[in-house]
Structure 1
Amino acid sequence: MSRYAKAKRYALPGTLAELHGPTSGVVSLPARLHWGPDSRYDLADNGDTAVMYERVIREAVTAQDLADHLDVDTLQRLWHHLIIPREVRDQWQAQFPELHTGRDQAP
């Protein structure tokens, strides 16, 4: 467990219903969320979508970043497959117990 992950403040939405991000097409994340060479994610590809969600959840500094880039149904489908720090997963699940369900869903 890194000290950074323990100390970092992660953004959380007020409700999951606020998450109204795109569900299709190719998404380009802003530099504040993805500073690498290729910030495009094809939402038709489950792997791309999962990596984008991981980045947004880890790097968002505002609830608006989350609302603009995450979709509630997609988040619930992918939640247990996302590779995110334990601290952020615990924060989200404490705020949104409904994320505990759906473990057996495929990504």
Structure 2
Amino acid sequence: MLPSRLIGAADRIPASLTLLDGPEHGRVALPVRLAWSGPVEFDVSDPRERLTLYCLLLDCGQRDDIVRYVNAELLRRDWPRIRRLTARRLVALWERRLPDLSTA
């Protein structure tokens, strides 16, 4: 049996939205360890590409990746869509750590 991908997920969530320092626009190129299958570059200005990027980072990224690539304001804006596309248990962890997201 494979271990749950949620093991350690709470430790990967930054302590505050203010720590998220990702770009507001432009392209982001992820390292191969994160984007080993599918696209490696994402246009943050494109809502669909950004949604794919953020879901990937929330699911697989380490805290440093999330801080580096996720923009707090864009995450707040996209959170209602991310909630529908991400595992409920992972969403609950994020909203518990960052309660401002649950009001987005």
The TM tier, using the shorter chain, reads 0.7 to 0.9
Contact preservation (8 Å) 1:32, 1:59: no
> How many residue pairs align between the two structures?
99
When the two chains are superposed, the root-mean-square deviation of aligned CA atoms in Å is 1.7
Separation in structure 2 between the aligned mates of residue 19 and residue 31 of structure 1, nearest angstrom:
21
Q: 1:101: how far off?
A: 1.3
Q: Which has the higher helix share?
A: 2
Partner of 2:24: 23
Q: 1:37: how far off?
A: 4.1
Runs of 4+ in 1 over 4 A off after TM superposition: none
Matches within 5 A, 1:5-16: 5=5, 7-10=6-9, 11-16=12-17
Unaligned runs of 5+ in 1: 103-107
Q: Provide the identity percentage.
A: 24
Contact preservation (8 Å) 2:22, 2:68: yes
Give TM-score scaled by structure 1 length: 0.83
Higher relative contact order (CA 8 A, sep 6+): 2
Unaligned runs of 5+ in 2: none
